[in-house]
Amino acid sequence: MQSRFRSDRRLTVRMGLTLFLLGLLYVAFVAALIVLLKSWVLVVVIAAGVLIAQYWFSDRIALFAMHGRVVEPEEFPQLHAVVDRLCAMADMPKPTVAVSSMDMPNAFATGRNPDNAVVCVTTGLLRRLEPAELEGVLAHELSHVAHKDVAVITVASFLGVLAGLVVRFAFYSELLGGRGRKDQNTLAVFAVVMGVSAAVYAISFLLIRALSRYRELAADRAAALLTGRPSALASALTKVTGDIARIPSEDLRTAQAFNAFYFTPALGSDPGVARLFSTHPSLEQRLAQLGRISAELGEAAAPGKAG
């Protein structure tokens, strides 16, 4: 079913191109591992297991890692009311609604398709945002579900996870099983496996970052157009980004593994080089786009629409 979120052809093209390139990389990676490790059964079992886990259980993994739980309308009536209203406006199925007990203000969406999606907000976000701001954030997350880029980013990230697992497996098997019987051939295979895995991880990392930054701009744009209040979304972005920057870095470490799924990345007060490889565009870019949309909609002149 097609939702009323405005479609984004450039996002669709980017998702298709990213999956195609990662698919080629995946085939080459698996073929190289089969040749090097001389055990196609082991390689296929590991690859299939990780892909299935990523695709089918990504929502449960994310909720568990972020201390989230599914909540009923009786527990959070206002949150459910906003989601219900937005889903009706967008003509899309209502996702499962969850709340994380984390004080870090943020939200994320995950799931393999619109019928099996989860939208989760933290208690820190609920405590800090005004109703119009919360609506903008939830519209942003729902647009990820409607555009199906949540599923794409989940599948895309699988290759990097697989490469990381292979590096660990090769390292520990060499460390534990190779003592006393190492030879030049074994060391050469070990070095090549590590090198190939590192290269695959680096390439997939860059491809995912490029797609992720664009999809965040697409979600901002779609949310602003659906709600008609880009200034409310801009206000939420400014508030959340500023509050996250004040949270101690040690409290953000667990959350940073899921940055690609968040409304805004969990970066500390001094992100440094991390911002160059961020999954999200800069706050300035996002606010500039929302400012242009606001001008196009004539929001500033419309009473009652300020965030």
Task: For residue 122, report the phi and psi dihedrals to the nearest 5 degrees.
Answer: -90, 155
Q: Is 67 annotated as a binding residue?
A: no
Q: How far apart are CA 42 and CA 17, in angstroms?
A: 29
Q: Is 144 annotated as a binding residue?
A: yes
Q: How far apart are CA 116 and CA 137, in angstroms?
A: 20
With contact defined as beta carbons under 8 Å apart, do 25 and 200 qualify? Answer: yes
Which residues sit opposite 93 in a β-bridge? none
Task: Tell me the two tokens of residue 160.
Answer: 């990097």
The SS3 call for residue 257 is coil
Task: Tell me the two tokens of residue 157.
Answer: 């990230």
Q: How far apart are CA 26 and CA 20, in angstroms?
A: 10
First to last CA, the chain: 31
Q: How far apart are CA 255 and CA 263, in angstroms?
A: 12
Q: Which of 141, 174, 250, 296 is catalytic?
A: 141
Nearest to 109 by CA among 75, 72, 137, 128: 137
Reply yes or no on whether 174 is catalytic.
no
Q: Characterize the bridge pairing of strands 107-111 and 68-70.
A: unpaired
Which residue ranges make up the annotated binding site for Zn(2+)? Answer: 140, 144, 216
Active-site amino acid positions: 141
